Structure 1
Amino acid sequence: MIEDHAASTSPVRPASGRTLLRVSHLSKSFTATKALNDVSLEVAAGEVLAIVGQNGSGKSTLVKLLAGIHQPDPGGVIEVSDGSGRLVPLGQEGHRLHFIHQDLGLLPMLSTTENLDLGRPLGTRWILPARRGAEHARAAELTRHFGAAIDVRAPVARLSSAERAIVAIARALDGWRHPENVLVLDEPTTAFHRDEVGRLFDAVRRVVALGAGVIFISHRLDEVRALADRVVVLRDGRHVAEAPAGHLDDAALVRAIVGTDVRTDVRTDVRTAVRTAVRTTGPAGSAAGPVVLAVDGLGGEHVHDVTFSLRAGEVAGVSGVLGSGREHLNSLIFGVDRPSRGRITLGNDRIRTGDVTAAIEQGVAFVPADRHRLGAVLPMSARENLTLPRLRGVRRRLGAIDRRDEAAVTRRWIGEVDLRPALPDRPLATFSGGNQQKIVLAKWLRTNPRLLLLDEPTQGVDVGAKAAIYQLVQRAAAQGTAVLVASSDAKELTSLCDRVLLMDQGRVVGELSGEALTETALIHAALATGVSGQAADSTPEGGTAS
């Protein structure tokens, strides 16, 4: 069972081994938000400590504090081993912590040798070039130590996911003067095939066997059980629970991750309140709505053989951990990424895959997760962003913009989304994140889309803007738009959606709907082993998941 530490602030001492990292009373505040709240933990030599929790639980903030990207609030202390058995403040021995992030930090067009040499002095040969043969031999030996026979001259882009991770580990460990270091692995397996995970874990076990400590952050409980010695649960920025990995009780662990305040008997009240506000009755995805979107055997680099359909007025969700394919599905449908196989039909018309212009003309709209880079033109005004996707209706016969018509359209949509401040000529970059997202959503709603694709629609917005965005989405559904929401936020999916497709390893493996669609069920499906089996049990008769 899980030991509850919600009421305790003292660090839990590892069962054995010399302490290499001690975190004491660590907190981090961003204005009025406390992202990390009085967290204490320890990591010992020869130990893998797993840290688990939902998005927003504080895992990323903890990693950034350890890496020195953020500074902790007063009173928090981070201590690391100096190699002689003493713990000293992190600032004195910061190089004892080594980080491997989700993207691994490798340059794909450089070789393994070149990636390992980055930031490392290549001897004292002055102006003479480095001895490439010796460098290649050294790189091969470093990677071979972790069980990989890698062509160190080939670009890293040609390596498998596991091989790239091994290169990142080899680079992180290169130059250790003694083994009393801590390696932090932040979701390293998100892009892995299941058969590659074992190779990475073998490499990590070799690190641990040397006497190092490892912090392993993962969404997958099967990975945690396979690798970790202890597990710490973070929730709402607090260290709320801890257990030896060998004593894991999945049901109790999921409850600790989700929290005891989650309502599992009924959906959240958001859907009811919003649908009352837009004066619609009955479920948005009722059988009366015709099929708007039919996806048949869709495949690409990160998605494999996905089949489902979506009706007019229905809000469907897509759930899955990072790397499940959830974050790539909408891009394939919209045409940002080109599918390698499959068919997409909108109504009676087949969408030409890989053609964004054609998708827009056929009534498809897409709000991407990265609004700064892909969703908006921030230096342009709110007015210009609003009218950008479709200039018909605000353009004169010879192509010039009719400023009077443009102003009328802008006034209408600024009122619809409650833009604050209501200043259409201000650069979009000067608005808050929530107001920027309202404009990004409004520019597509203005086109009256048949299909609205949303990726992380409320990422980085405040509570007020989130409620407004939910209402806009449900209003569009009430008017007949089919909506597909890909989100990592389980609460968001249960608030917005009629049903949720579950993705794992690039495939749709099940579906939750009706009373089975709860926050706990979604998180458990994403975290627990055998997601496909659980999901299948929850798929209602006549469901459309494949």
Structure 2
Amino acid sequence: MSQTLVEIRNITKRFPGVVALEDISFAVKEGEIHALIGENGAGKSTMIKILSGLYKPEPGGEIIFDGEPLREYNALESLHRGIVVIYQDFSLFSNLSVMENIALGPYVKGGKRLVDWKSMEEIAQTALNKLQLQLDLKAPVGSLSVAKQQIVAIARALANKARFLVLDEPTSALSKGEVIKLFDIMRSLKKEGISLLFVSHKIDELFAISDRFTVFRDGKCMGTFNEEELDDDRLISLMVGRKIVYKIFTKNKRDDVIMEVKNLSKAGQFKDINFKLNRGEILGITGLVGAGRTEVAQAIFGLNSFDSGEILLEGQPVKIQKPSEAVEKGIAYVPENRLQEGLVLGKSVRDNLVITVLKSISNRIGLVDRTKKSKLTAEWMEKLNIKPSLPDLLASKLSGGNQQRVVLSKWLATNPKILIVDEPTNGIDVGAKTEIHQILRNLSESGIAVIVISSELPEILAIADRVIIMRRGRITAEKFCEGLNQEDILSKAI
């Protein structure tokens, strides 16, 4: 039996007004893939930040690494011990090369003042060889796909002699094929004796790769279980204390066109995109990663110029060349990556909520009216049930589900006629998903036309009235969702 590498004992972490973790204890064995799972707000992110040395637990808690208690524990000590966290954004330098991103850390730790490019190349190539993968060492990281950037982040961890690798939602932006490759990498690392903590909301993936599961609920540890002790229903019950299923909403057939897209094309991205959007309906757009769904949405919102075609709003042709023009015409867009594109993480919930409507809450000389700002914030926090109800809390401190509510709120405050939501429940737990679905359905019933872009077919079938299926930049089918199944959609997507 493998020996324990990391043991978490009686960890508690408090923030003002919130107990994020309460008396958490669990252990990760050497050379195992250990799943950490729980709803948004359950405390997973706080636990990761304690393991990485960014947060300190309350007195009385401790972390035992390789049999030795960690006393003066901080981010540098964490790296020195071989504890490496790969966050969703990978924390890479996009302007530096693959080689520099992989080798810079260990090279600097070596105390060398002058750059020996050959030595750095050897460090980077050795790390990639361990993964049995090849990348152009001179390529800027910013030019790589998400999957290749993830490989760079893992290679960097190996170059830093990682013994305990924490992967935070590593599959959230990967295609199925890329997920399979990542799992092969994870298994090879496991064979090398490296321990992995796999944090994800995708239950099927957790069962496909994990040896054991530790479940968090409301800041408490519900226990650690072997894979054979769990099934989907029991795992979800442990996470949320209740059975969760997608609510299938009643489908509506509308005939009141608010927007029409005609022959929209952009070289290399999408071609001959034609569809109509009705008031008060939810139109789903789905397809495999790379099908061009997001690019079409960004073209409608003025983030992505198109080569030909036109957009009609309420029967009239419109030119939308930038997002501010889209907002003026009543279009709002919630991006897929809420952390990088949807929120200002270092600002408060209040500041994030009002950022799209500053003009409407400012006086004649351009100063923000604090009373209006507070009133608007309170209104949307209540409407979308944003928790905790602390307007001054930094957006970075919220769970994924509540961060998504903030992003929705800031755009709904613009009083849109059309709301485009890209992957609305990406990285959100099963309980919060149903709540986001209900919010979107309520919006459509209030008369707002909603476009939902999603890779999750059960999600599309649950909430959409119609669905557009895309493949390689083209629409392959348009169907009403009533009576539709996943196989019908998938056959047109692949």
Q: TM-score, normalised by structure 2?
A: 0.67
Q: Is the 8 A contact 1:385 1:439 kept in 2?
A: no
Task: Describe the superposition over 1:431-487 as per-residue Cα deviations: whole angstroms up to 9, x where unpaired.
Answer: 677999899457522xxx43244679999xxxxxxxxx9999999766643245789
Structure 1 equivalent of residue 256 of structure 2: 290
CA distance 1:437–1:251, change in 2 (3 Å): closer
**Mapped contact 1:107–1:115 kept (Cα < 8 A):** yes
SS of the residue 1:28 aligns to: strand
Aligned with 1:385 (options 351, 358, 372)? 358
1:60 aligns with 2:45: yes
1:311 is displaced (CA, Å) by: 2.6
Matched with 2:118 is 133
Q: 2:385 is matched with which residue?
A: none
Identity percentage of aligned residues: 29
Superposition pairs of residues 475-490 of structure 1, within 5 angstroms: 480-484=447-451
Structure 1 pair 246–503 and aligned structure 2 pair: CA distance change class (3 A): farther
1:186 is displaced (CA, Å) by 1.0
Deviation at 1:43, TM superposition (A): 0.7
Aligned length: 450
Structure 2 residue aligned with 1:88? 69
Give 1:364-403 correspondences, 5 Å limit. Answer: 364-366=331-333, 369=338, 370-372=342-344, 385-387=358-360
Answer yes or no: is 1:221 the counterpart of 2:203: yes
Q: Note the alpha carbon deviations across 1:336-363, whole angstroms, 9 max, x for none.
A: 3456898755343455565435434543
Stretch of structure 1 that moved more, 335-344 or 213-222: 335-344
Q: 1:235 to 1:500 in 2, by over 3 A?
A: farther
Q: Secondary structure at the match of 2:19?
A: strand
Task: Indicate how the Cα distance of structure 1 residues 307 and 245 shifts in structure 2: closer, same or farther if over 3 A, else same.
Answer: farther
Counterpart among 55, 67, 70 of residue 70 in structure 1: 55
Of 371-380 and 47-56, deviating more is 371-380
Instruction: Quote how far apart the aligned CAs of 1:113 are.
Output: 1.8
The DSSP-based 3-state class of the residue aligned with 2:358 is: helix
Question: Who is 1:3 aligned against?
Answer: none
**What amino acid sits opposite 1:224 in the alignment?**
L
Partner secondary structure for residue 40 of structure 1: strand
Partner Cα distance (1:331, 1:293) in 2 = 15
Partner of 2:98: 112
Give the direction of change, closer, same or farther, for the CA distance of 1:116–1:387 in structure 2 (3 Å limit): same
Q: Deviations over 1:245-281 (max 9, x none)?
A: 35652343344444316587898xxxxxxxxxxxxxx
Deviation of 1:384 after TM superposition, in Å, equals 7.6
Q: CA–CA distance in 1 between the matches of 2:471 and 2:164?
A: 30
Distance 2:62 2:111 in 1: 42
Residue aligning to 1:444: 414
SS in 1 for 2:118: helix
Retained in 2: the 8 A contact 1:289–1:313?
Answer: no
> 2: distance between equivalents of 1:473 and 1:329?
20
Q: 1:75 to 1:455 in 2, by over 3 A?
A: farther
- In structure 1, the residue matched to 2:388 is none
Structure 2: state its 5+ residue gaps.
382-390, 396-401, 427-435
**Does structure 1 residue 164 correspond to structure 2 residue 131?**
no
| Contact 1:51 1:218 survives alignment (8 Å) | yes
Is the 8 Å Cα contact of residues 263 and 274 (structure 2) preserved in structure 1?
yes
Q: How far is the alpha carbon of 1:20 from its aligned partner?
A: 0.5
State the distance in 1 between where 2:373 and 2:142 align: 48
C-alpha distance in 2 between matches for 1:456 and 1:46: 34
Instruction: Choose the corresponding residue for 2:193, options 197, 207, 211.
Output: 211
Distance 1:76 1:109, change over 3 A: same
Distance in 1 between the 2:112 and 2:246 partners?
67
Letter in 2 for 1:290: D
- The superposition leaves residues 125-149 of structure 1 with CA deviations (integer Å, 9 ceiling, x where unpaired) of 976x433233323322221121112
Deviation track 1:141-177 (CA, whole Å, cap 9, x = no partner) reads 221121112221222234444433222222212243x
Partner Cα separation in structure 2 for residue 77 and residue 505 of structure 1: 51
Structure-2 change in CA distance of 1:184 and 1:134 (3 Å) = same
For 1:463, the equivalent position in structure 2 comes to none
- The 1:261/1:26 distance shift into structure 2, 3 A limit, reads farther
1:386–1:440 contact (8 Å) kept in structure 2: no
Specify whether residues 235 and 533 from structure 1 end up closer, same or farther in structure 2 by C-alpha distance, changes over 3 A only.
farther
In the alignment, the residues of structure 2 paired with residue 307 and residue 254 of structure 1 have an alpha-carbon distance, to the nearest angstrom, of 40
CA distance 1:263–1:413, change in 2 (3 Å): same
Deviation string, structure 1 residues 381-425 (Cα, Å, up to 9, x no partner): 99981438xx9xx9xxxxxx699xx99xx97996897599xxxxx
Q: How does 1:319-330 map to 2 (within 5 A)?
A: none
The Cα shift of 1:229 comes to 1.3
Aligned to 1:239: 221
Q: 2:326 aligns with which of 342, 359, 377?
A: 359
Deviation at 1:22, TM superposition (A): 0.8
Measured against aligned partners, the alpha-carbon deviations of 1:72-107 in whole angstroms (never above 9, x if no partner) come to 2343322211xxxx2323646633211111121211
User: Structure 1 pair 510/437, CA: closer, same or farther in 2 (3 Å)?
Assistant: same
Select 2:176's aligned residue among 166, 191, 194: 194
Task: Quote the Cα distance in structure 1 between the aligned partners of 2:20 and 2:201.
Answer: 19
Q: What residue number does 1:462 align with?
A: none
Distance change (3 Å), C-alpha of 1:132 and 1:348: same
Q: Does 1:146 align with 2:131?
A: yes
Report how far residue 217 of structure 1 moved.
Answer: 1.4
Aligned counterpart in structure 2 of residue 46 of structure 1, from 24, 31, 35: 31
Equivalents in 2 of 1:132, 1:440: separation in Å? 47
Contact between 1:122 and 1:130, CA under 8 Å: does it hold in 2?
A: no
Q: Does the residue aligned with 1:444 lie in a helix, a strand or coil?
A: coil
Q: How far apart in 2 are the matches of 1:324 and 1:202? A: 25
Please tell me whether the aligned partners of residues 148 and 163 of structure 1 are also in contact (alpha carbons under 8 angstroms).
no
Check the 8 A contact 1:366/1:444 in 2, yes or no.
no
Residues of 2 paired with 1:486 and 1:361: CA distance? Answer: 22
CA distance in 1 between partners of 2:326 and 2:247 (Å): 39
* Equivalent pair of 1:339/1:354 in contact (CA under 8 Å): no
CA gap 1:331/1:48 in 2 versus in 1, 3 angstroms: same
Change over 3 Å in CA distance of 1:77–1:122 after alignment to 2: closer
CA distance in 1 between counterparts of 2:253 and 2:127 reads 60
Distance (whole Å) between structure 1 residues aligned to residue 267 and residue 7 of structure 2:
41
The 10-residue stretch of structure 1 (472-481 or 43-52) with the greater mean CA deviation from structure 2: 472-481
SS at match of 1:118: helix
